[in-house]
Amino acid sequence: MSRDRAPTCPVVGPGPERWIASVLGALLLVLLAPPAQAASAPQQCAAGHVRLTFDDGPHPTATPAILDTLAERGAEATFFVTGEKATARPDLVRRAAEQGHRIGNHSWSHPELTTLDRTQVASQLRRTNQAIELATGSPPSEWRPPYGATNDVVQAAARDVGLDEMVLWTVDPRDWADPPATAIRDRVLRAVRPGSIVLLHDATGQNTPAALPMILDGLSARGYCTQ
């Protein structure tokens, strides 16, 4: 009988002892299982961070709704505002900044900057810097070119006005084309990875405010935090 006793595993003995060991082993597996199956309630930020960005605002109704949702869920975002809209509603830019969100420069009137010369691009960006500073008390450091259109001239003009950090995006659910809110959610959640930058719109995406709570719930369920 003792020949069954493996020298490296003295607990596993012959006959009934082996059976008990199997049962204990199975029990141990069951006990260990919950952490492995905890995908429905992962630790906060276990999957990493995702940046949510909202372009083209502020918008009189969509932006407050989005800010409410972000506040309810303790989420962070970046608003790439145009100078025109920021000048029309500086209160909303200020509210976003006061809620802890980042404000970025998205040009004055949303032209394709690559069609302009360096002076014109600099003017688009400088005036928007001023509008943001007027609203929030500090100029932005981040900017995003409309349509993501950039070239050496545009880059040089951005540096001329102190904008060093261009932020594009990695996930584009095309919310501006007004797909259903559930489609916006699904497109984001399917594509999102640690470190993703999600492009959304508070001024041109009619269903974006309705999609946002679902997006945030989905990100949270997957262990992502927003930043």
What is the rounded distance in angstroms from the CA atom of residue 172 to the CA atom of residue 191? Answer: 9
Within 13 Å, how many C-alpha atoms sit on residue 74's CB side? 5
Q: Which stretch binds Zn ion (CB under 5 A): 45-53, 67-75, 146-154, 185-193?
A: 146-154
- Tell me how far, at minimum, the Cβ of 146 lies from Zn ion, in Å: 5
Which helix or strand (DSSP H or E) is residue 158 part of?
Answer: helix 152-160
- Say how far residue 174 (Cα) sits from the centre of its chain: 15
Q: Does 56 bind Zn ion (CB under 5 A)?
A: yes
- DSSP code for 198: E
Strand-pair category, 197-201 with 48-55: parallel
What are the catalytic residues? 55, 201
Q: Does 146 bind Zn ion (CB under 5 A)?
A: yes
What is the rounded distance in angstroms from the CA atom of residue 125 to the CA atom of residue 109? Answer: 10
Q: Which stretch binds Zn ion (CB under 5 A): 129-137, 144-152, 183-191, 210-218?
A: 144-152
Which helix or strand (DSSP H or E) is residue 122 part of?
Answer: helix 118-136
Q: Which DSSP string corresponds to 131-170?
A: HHHHHHSS--SEE--GGG---HHHHHHHHHTT--EE---S
Please select the residue that binds Zn ion; options are 52, 54, 55, 128, rule is CB under 5 A.
Answer: 55
- Tell me how far, at minimum, the Cβ of 147 lies from Zn ion, in Å: 7
Comparing CB distances to Zn ion, the nearer of 57 and 139 is 57
What is the rounded distance in angstroms from the CA atom of residue 25 to the CA atom of residue 12? Answer: 11
The site that binds Zn ion (CB under 5 A) totals a number of residues, namely 3
- Tell me how far, at minimum, the Cβ of 68 lies from Zn ion, in Å: 22
SS3 of residue 138 by DSSP: coil
Q: Which stretch binds Zn ion (CB under 5 A): 48-56, 161-169, 179-187, 192-200?
A: 48-56
Q: Which stretch binds Zn ion (CB under 5 A): 15-23, 117-125, 142-150, 189-197?
A: 142-150
- Tell me how far, at minimum, the Cβ of 58 lies from Zn ion, in Å: 13
Comparing CB distances to Zn ion, the nearer of 97 and 200 is 200
Q: Does 175 bind Zn ion (CB under 5 A)?
A: no
- Tell me how far, at minimum, the Cβ of 201 lies from Zn ion, in Å: 7
Partners of residue 114 on adjacent β-strands: none
Comparing CB distances to Zn ion, the nearer of 111 and 223 is 111
What is the rounded distance in angstroms from the CA atom of residue 227 to the CA atom of residue 195? Answer: 10
Q: In the complex, which residues of this chain contact Zn ion (CB under 5 A)?
A: 55-56, 146
